[in-house]
Amino acid sequence: MADYKSAIWMPNQNFFPNTGKKSFLILHGTAGGSSAQGIANFFKGTEGTDHPASTHYIVGQDGTVVQTVHEKDGAYGNGVVTSDNWSGNPNFYTISIEHVKSATDNSNQLTEAQKQASFKLVKDICQRNNIGMHDADDTTGITGHFAIDPVSRARCPGPYPWAELWDYLAGKKEEIMPKTIDLTDGTIASHFVGDDKLWRSDNGYIIGHAILDFYRRFGGDNLCGLSYLGLPVSNEIGIPGKPGAVCQRFERAVVCYDPSIPHSIDNPPGAEKDNVYLLHIDSGPGQDPRVAALQAENDKLKALLASSNLGQVATIIQHISGDVDLIKKLVSTQ
């Protein structure tokens, strides 16, 4: 059972049992990997080897939180000490959080979903363990792995929004987490069932994880994505040649989960650091298949007009006129 209620429990045996009170929280970057679950499986795979590895928590780029070691135990993440500011085995008195970063030098910025999940997790751990919610001093607090091992872990966790974290923990930015709508809202509940990670719509399609977070806060207060994007009309669809990236079609838009920074699919203004955004619907993976069909008919019509083949032009016009309802529906949903 996870200590943090929003975490997925994926335990391993790489820990020191019952090490007592934890006074510090240490933040890490994975320097590789693509998901919190994948890192947890990697930790599990090192059991019984010469290099067992673990941290208490892992925060994925999509905001997923996985716990692999109980807080009462000591994980294996902070064992090498090259700073005189730390004594003994820091694993005995620290809790550690990995942040999934695909770059091997930890140069990735946190995604918005990852940042939100990290801030909430940090605050929860500190409050439950009476860890100081500030930059680490001699007795308690929060810092990065670089503080314990500046020789070989100087880039761990890499870029982290420390100033925003301190403001959030000090209560200066209580609205840092965008307002979201949940299933306690009657209108939402009339169309969806589920939990904080997955919603199933009344037409059978599922919205999950980072796309669900985007959907829940889209458009501000009121009815979130339901008002503006409509219901899902597909499940997540993998994008060929773009590992980890998916798109999902809704009644009024196409949403993309694209964890790469800079983005590899599209790059709408203002969404440079968000891993979920809306795609163009007239080209690329977000293109509506009905648009492609109409464009093909249009191209054929232009070619025939250019060749002055009026008989065939008339045939195509007759064919297109049979699709009036489809065209009206297409226009009304854009």
- Clarify whether residues 147 and 226 are in a common domain: no
- Clarify whether residues 153 and 228 are in a common domain: no
Query: pTM for this one?
Result: 0.58
pLDDT at 317: 60
- Residue 175: pLDDT band with limits 50, 70, 90: very low
pLDDT at 54: 97
pLDDT at 263: 78
Position 247 in a domain: yes
- CA-nearest of 148, 136, 160 to 24 is 136
- Residue 167: pLDDT band with limits 50, 70, 90: very high
Q: pLDDT for 14-67, tens place per residue? A: 999 999 999 999 999 999 998 999 999 999 999 999 999 999 999 998 889 999
- Clarify whether residues 110 and 255 are in a common domain: no
pLDDT at 176: 47
H helical segments located in the chain: 36-45, 112-129, 162-169, 186-189, 209-217, 224-228, 289-306, 310-321, 324-332
- CA-nearest of 241, 320, 247, 237 to 279 is 247
Q: How far apart are CA 255 and CA 277, in angstroms?
A: 6
- Clarify whether residues 85 and 153 are in a common domain: yes
Q: pLDDT for 278-287, tens place per residue? A: 988 777 787 7
Position 115 in a domain: yes
- Clarify whether residues 273 and 295 are in a common domain: no
Position 30 in a domain: yes
| Average of per-residue pLDDT values in the chain | 85
Evaluate whether 24 touches 94 at the Cβ level (below 8 Å): yes
Position 142 in a domain: yes
**End residue of a domain, out of 145, 176, 207:** 176
Full residue range of the structural domain in which residue 111 is found: 8-176
Model confidence at 212: pLDDT above 50: yes
Q: pLDDT for 119-162, tens place per residue? A: 999 999 999 999 999 999 999 999 999 999 999 999 999 999 99
- Clarify whether residues 199 and 104 are in a common domain: no
- Clarify whether residues 36 and 81 are in a common domain: yes
- Clarify whether residues 134 and 279 are in a common domain: no
pLDDT at 331: 46
- Clarify whether residues 15 and 151 are in a common domain: yes
Q: What is the mean pLDDT of residues 177-206?
A: 82
pLDDT at 334: 45
Model confidence at 241: pLDDT above 80: yes
306 backbone φψ class: left, alpha, beta (φ>0; ψ -120 to 50): alpha
**pLDDT top residue among 290 and 225:** 225
Model confidence at 332: pLDDT above 60: no
* Domain count within the chain: 3
Flag the least confident range among 60-64, 73-77, 273-277, 294-298: 294-298
Q: pLDDT for 301-322, tens place per residue? A: 777 667 656 556 566 565 655 5
Give the CATH number for residue 154: 3.40.80.10
